[in-house]
Structures are given as structure tokens and as C-alpha cells.
Amino acid sequence: MKRYKRIGIAGIITLFTLSGCSIFTPPLEQPLITDYQTRNVLSPHREFGSSSLTASRRMVLFKLRNHDFLRVCAEPPPTVGEELNRAFQAAVSASVKKETGTKEAEARGNLLSSLATSFKQFEKSKGIQFEQDMLYSLCQLHMNGAITNTDAREFYEIVADRAERILLAEIKDAEAKPPTTTGHVLNHTRQVKDGRLDLYLKVLDKKILSAHSWQVVTREASRFWESDMGWKQTQADSSSPSVSKNYVISATIASNKLNVGNKAEVALLLEAGLEVESESGASKMYYPATGQFVFYKGDADKASVRSDGKDKPLSNEDIPLTIIFPKYVDIAFPEFSPRDVPLTGGLRLPNDGETVPIEITFQRGKVGTSYRWNLRVPDENDRQRIREARAEGNVTLVDLEFDPQRAIIEIPGFKQEEIIALSRWGEPQPVTNFEAKAIENNKTSLNLSWSEPEDPKTGYLIKWKRSDQGGFDSKNKKPIDVGQTGVKIGDLGKGEYNFKMVTLNQTRVSEPATTKGEITK
């Protein structure tokens, strides 16, 4: 190898040795990243620079040229905020000493204890954050010549004044509401019922349980922002709630201790948590449990069913079923999916009480808390038996439940009520008090009125003709819904008219009710 090549290689090795490994260090891992800007590509003079520092990558801006001194704007590090917090506490502490023995001094002392706990949880004051952000922006404006020295001093006073106002508002808010710390307790309870209620809370920070005192508290989810935050103490049936080795608190309480009273709601959304007193006389801290639970009154945790086809004749078509689930079903039964859990049941015949097997299939998703299923009787012989049995009474839906083999997940049950899947086929009765009356100042219409008969009925049909004509034709007729007890028939000419009205159900027609009316001119 030639001598000049050996010298070149040796020089490269020496360069790498002197520089260490810094040239191989990724940019984000370097302790200092600095960049400079010049007026143009050919200019040898550096106009402006920036440095990025670890560990939080604070940005430092500096201006190098056309000034008698160096101008620098540096983002404050996290420790600056903590020092300002400590300075703030010291200032309040000094004011407390001036008022020793007063109730106000005691209140402010409790406030300091609460603030100290909050700062340990890295909850930076909004007033301090506002001041840091605004002063850094103010520095940049001054560095770039957007404001003068006089303007900068005036804006600094404004920022300091506004920051002080925010801090005072935070103090007032802290005095009005006990401090709350989240993320330390998990709620393992999904639903509770009247009577004995079992609450399960998982404590993630075991230091909470080593405090001077603690107890389980509850509140309504809709009352978060009351002055007392809505927390109400609960009293366990035993002397104190039990704590497992995995730091799970079990508390069995009476439902009247939830302070739900006799409200009209059948389902209430609640929260549980811990009220902690770190030492005797210290300000109370509240640890809301992550996750809400539902308190159900009576059988409000059960689903109800409505048959939308009970008056229809049974054929090969499905009978629609609407199931209305309990309120807050997604919270009380978090793993339950109606689409994925089979639904079973049967149809009970009215004559001998025998149950006919059925198939129930999921039809479509929910509207509010309602879902739709379809009921089908697969066997033709069973369908014939049901048709014959309906002459004796109602066919009811019984033994309705979600597949018990899926009981490994929480699933709602059904209310114990008679569900008429197919109503009784009976002879429909005609309407009574069927009358036709003239309308004052109306020479082309008559008012018809009647009284409805008992069930079964699905509707009515009215027909009319002139008395001097032959039979009733298909043109002059009008269907009437159940629940209607009157109608106006118009476009009539002069003369007398005969009316007849029949009651309908899905399979039969009643004897007609008849009346007459006259149009005179």
C-alpha cells in the first residue's frame, strides 16, 4: 500500500477515535442539538440559532447578530414549575402564620395539605402553566422585534396579574370542593339490587389503605358538580369493610344507605369511591373508583317482552317479538350482546297447558333499549294444534330465557309476566249505538257514531248505499281503526242512505250493525 494511502486511513481512524461514538448517536438521544441560520447561503455570519436540550427537549432560541448583547428565550423545565408550586405554598403558609389560631388559618392549613398532595400527583396549577406559556411567547415577540422594551414590561405585568387571578380562583375552588384523585381505585361492581348490596373496589395504590382512616362512599353520577361533590357515606353491615390480600374491598351495605330515597326512577347510575383522611384532622381526600354501576329497584333489572303479532293468524311467517331491556344495560351487563346469546322459550296451549317448541332468531339491533326477534313454530302439526287451541284461549310465551350455557357472562333475566304471543280467536261482536246524524249547515255529509265491542277485534268496515238502490257495492266503503268511535261520510247527494258496519279480527267478521241517515236540501 502506498504511503499516502496509509496516512489517509490512519487519519480517518484518529478522527473516529477522538470523536468517540457521538457521530453514531441518533439525534434524539444527543444531549444537545444546535442549529444555526444565516442571512443567505453565501453569508459567513450566523444570524439566529436554536438548541434542543434533553430530557424533556426544552427549546432555547437565541439571536446572535445586530445586537450589543445576546438575546435568549428558553422554555422553562418541569422543575421550574415545581419550584414555583413550592414558592406558592410558602407564600400561603406565611399568611397562615399571621392568622394563627383563627378558623381561616386552619382552613388554609388544610388547603395547603391538599395542594401538597395534588402536586405530588403532578397536577400543575393552571395559573402557573398560564404564566409559563405566556412569558415564553412574550420573549419570542421581543426577540423578533414585534414589541419594544416598554411593551414587554407592560405585557409582563399583565401576564403576572392574570396568573395571580387564576391562582386565587383555584384556591377558592379548592376551598369549595374537597380535592379528588382519580385512577387509584377500580370499580368491580356492575349492578346492585334492593336489600343487601355488595360493592367491590380494587385499590391500586395500597398506601391509601394505610391512612389514618378511610371509608366507602357513593354518589349519583348525575350530581358530580354539587358543592359537596355528591358523596354520601355508606355504612357496612359489619364493623368495617373487608380487604383481601389483593387489596379488593368488599362492602355489604343496605340500599337505603345509597341515599336514593323514593325517587321515581327505577334505575340509577351511581359511582363508588373512598373517603380518606391521611392523618387525624387532615383534609379529606376522595378517590372515585373508575367505572360506574347501576342500582335497580324492584324488578327493574329484568327485560320485558311485547308480541307485535298476537292478533295475526299463525302461518309459516315469523311472529315479531320486541324485547325492552333494563335501563343502563350496557353498564350493568357489560359483556352481554343480544346478537351473540341464543334465546329460548316455548308456546303454552290454553286447553291442556302443553308447551310447543319454538325457534327464536335475532332480527335486528336496538332502538334505544329495544331489540327485535322473530318467533317461529317450525313444525306444521304444532302450528295446526295452535290454531285449534286459539279457539279456547290465548297462547302464551313461556320459559323465555337466554341460553343458560352462556351464563359465564352477565345476562339480564325476564320479568315474570304473562306474555300473550297469539290471542284467542273468538267471534267478534258488532258495535252498539250505531247512529247517523245530519250536520248543521252541511248538505253533503253525515256523522256516524258507535260504541266499541269487547275484544277480540282488529278493526271495522263501514259500507253505505242509497236506500232506493239494490245491494252494497265495493266503491262505497271505509275501513276504521280500533279505538275510533265516529267518522264523517261526505260527498252524499240528496236522499236517504243505508249504513252497515262490521267488526273484524284476523279470521272472522261479526254480524253487521245497521242504521239510516238522510240528506235534505
Does 312 lie in the same domain as 288?
no
Give the dihedral sign, CA 130/133/138/141: negative
- End-of-domain residue from the set 296, 317, 349: 296
Does 168 lie in the same domain as 226?
no
Does 353 lie in the same domain as 335?
yes
Does 144 lie in the same domain as 97?
yes
Q: What is the pLDDT of residue 78?
A: 58
- How many Cα atoms are found within 13 Å in the side-chain-facing hemisphere of 119? 19
Instruction: Please enumerate in sequence order all residues whose Cβ is within 8 A of that of 348, keeping only pairs 6 or more positions apart, or say none.
Output: 354, 355, 356, 395, 396, 397, 398
Domain residue limits at 510: 432-519
Which residues does the chain have with pLDDT short of 70? 1-59, 61-70, 77-124, 172-180, 195-196, 222-240, 253-265, 316, 366-368, 407-408, 506-507
Does 502 lie in the same domain as 483?
yes
Residue 98 maps to a domain: yes
Instruction: Please enumerate in sequence order all residues whose Cβ is within 8 A of that of 507, keeping only pairs 6 or more positions apart, or say none.
Output: 313, 425
Residue 241 maps to a domain: yes
Residue 383 maps to a domain: yes
Q: What is the pLDDT of residue 309?
A: 76
Taking a C-beta distance cutoff of 8 angstroms, is the pair 457, 430 a contact?
Answer: no
- End-of-domain residue from the set 143, 158, 176: 176
Does 399 lie in the same domain as 365?
yes
Does 312 lie in the same domain as 417?
yes
* φ, ψ dihedrals at 358, nearest 5°: -135, 165
* Model pLDDT for residues 18-52, shown as the tens digit of each residue: 444 445 555 555 656 666 566 555 556 666 666 66
Does 109 lie in the same domain as 26?
no
**Strand order, beta sheet including 486-489:** 432-439, 442-451, 486-489
Does 88 lie in the same domain as 47?
no
Instruction: Return the biggest CA–CA distance within the chain.
Output: 136
* φ, ψ dihedrals at 333, nearest 5°: -130, 70
Does 447 lie in the same domain as 409?
no
Residue 506 maps to a domain: yes
Residue 427 maps to a domain: no
SS3 258: helix
Does 410 lie in the same domain as 325?
yes
- End-of-domain residue from the set 296, 325, 354: 296
- The letter for the amino acid at 174 is A
Taking a C-beta distance cutoff of 8 angstroms, is the pair 290, 185 a contact?
Answer: yes
Residue 157 maps to a domain: yes
Using only the alpha carbons of the chain, give its radius of gyration. Answer: 41
Residue 130 maps to a domain: yes
- Count of the separate structural domains present in the chain: 5
Residue 95 maps to a domain: yes
Helices (H) and strands (E) in the chain, counts: 7, 29
Residue whose cell numbers read 310447543: 356
* Model pLDDT for residues 480-518, shown as the tens digit of each residue: 999 999 999 998 988 999 999 999 876 678 899 999 999
Does 285 lie in the same domain as 247?
yes
Dist CA 368 CA 322 (whole Å)? 12
Q: What is the pLDDT of residue 209?
A: 86
Instruction: Give the CA distances from residue 104 to residues 101, 134, 277, in Å, rounded to whole numbers and listed in that order.
Output: 8, 33, 20
Instruction: Report the CATH number at residue 461.
Output: 2.60.40.10
